[in-house]
Structure 1
Amino acid sequence: MPALVHGLRPLGLAMSLLAVPTRSYSAPPPKESAAAAQLPSSFRWSSSGQLISPKPDASHSVVSVKDPTVVQANGKWHLFMTTANTAGSWSLAYTSFTPQSWSAPRTFQNAAPSGTLDYWTICDSAMCYLFSADDNGHVYRSETTAGEFPGGFRNTRLVLQDSKFALFEGGAVYRVQGTNTYLLLWEAIGGDGRRYHRSFTAQGLTGQWQPLAATEANPFARATNVTFPSGAWTRDISHGELVRAGNDQTMTINPCRLQFLYQGLNPSAGGDYSQLPYRLGLLTQTNSSC
């Protein structure tokens, strides 16, 4: 995949994403009970090496790439990410093709809890829901009708609560293909100071979230349940996104052999947060029950 954003080195991301056989995403949707059983109660992963990293040149000083969002459409992978430079300034980067145009700005949400960030939108046939974090142990959900989207989010409510670092930021919500089961992932900070992901499930987007793999001992994704065939380049499995089965607003995943695009960094890195040398890597599930 060519890097069309200056200062980025893609390092074979497209090949890694396409490594999952196409047939696994074209199979008929599984029955409710079968598909739900395909989400194990514990997960094992294998990680790639660094796939996206900064490429310094005369006009750019990017030190970090993070917070990936990836989707496949029209035969291409479209990747958005956050970048930081040596001055501590944040930017949005994109690779795969040149964007053609943007619509005029609209008000997305009139009111939100103080300090919320890392917004995630997912819809069913009638409603759209906005999930967000506040870096203080709270997960919020707002809603609007599909017809009003992308505006009108209201009825904000607290849907999960824990200690500050147990529900920190970087959340995502997906529908499990062929079911009414939804999977919520949330980034946490472990007792060792390293980032990892917890997981919860609910029946329906307004259902009660129940822990799936949600502890430091049994996480969704943490360095302790990931192997690194090319060498352990990170101990943080931070802010990421599952590769979806399609590209519509239902955020549907096929539960067979999940892949998770995430940010990690050299374990010895330190200093100001904006200067941490985050890179992007890809986890592939190795214990699928399919």
Structure 2
Amino acid sequence: MVHSANCSTVPPSVPSDAGVAGAGVLLSFIITNFLALSLSAYLILRNLRSPLLSPIPRKLLLSFSDQQLLTGLGIQSVGLAKMNTMVPYHFFIIWMLSLLATATHLATLLALVQDFKRDWVLRWLRQLLMLVSMSLSVVMGVFVLKSVLHNLPPTLPIACVWDVPASKGSTSNAGLSIAGTIAVMAASAILFIISTWYLHNRNNQKWLKSIQVVGLILLAVMGVGAAVRVVLLSQAFGTPNLRLSDEGEKVWSFGQLLPLLLLLLPVVSSIELWRGEIRVGREAEEEEDRIPLTGKIGSEEFKPKDFQPLPLFGGYGK
């Protein structure tokens, strides 16, 4: 494989990378995941009893999800673009952060699936982003798996897995690491298939509520597992598995504060929306907000316009 990675010399240490594993970056992903899962749980459990009229929690959740999804795609792209210089430690942290992003946007899909179904643009945009995210995650998982199989020295770039022969020695938890990596890759593909079906499913059976509850629990476990792994492995909060030449990932610079400050944007937007509702009223939105994700509205069956087909197929779905 042709690349510019230096695989001939194993350095004793490597510099830190606060842009990938800094305290602010890690906390922004973890906090966003926690808030999104909490809002998703609130919306799903609230909808089990009766539809929520206010659009604020839904739009707040959507804002957190979009922010997490785009930053997750961005950091994965950076990791793959820098694989000739990035060591497995930072590469693995990026992979864990991408799992946090995946758990966030899938939890949002569970709670707001009806919003995506009503608009084909939102539905297929979400489908495209899910496909890109899953593809990048699987590619990164292949690198992580190969680095474990080859017992790659932790200070060599991750791209060296294709050039450095497998080492005879192995760590005590190599088997567990291999099994866990394969399981995560398989879970990413399975979740993508299930979420694709869920997103495009046109039926609104009551058993979809059970899928929402079970799916949310599984995504919460996935998010907690990835967050714990990141915290324990990172220099910012735990103990890394290699020697770093500095402690830059512990330093709170503006670059670390910025991701946390950006978390306030959805909150500010929600306050503005709430104030607008108070002053203007929301009669125009009230009818749409009364539509639940599943079931009935009072004595009326849940019908009509819960699924907007592609314009290409004008008669489809009528």
How would you bin the TM-score normalised by the shorter chain?
A: under 0.3
TM-score, structure 1 as length reference: 0.25
**Which structure carries more helix by proportion?**
2
TM-score, structure 2 as length reference: 0.24
Q: Give 1 or 2 for the bigger CA radius of gyration.
A: 2
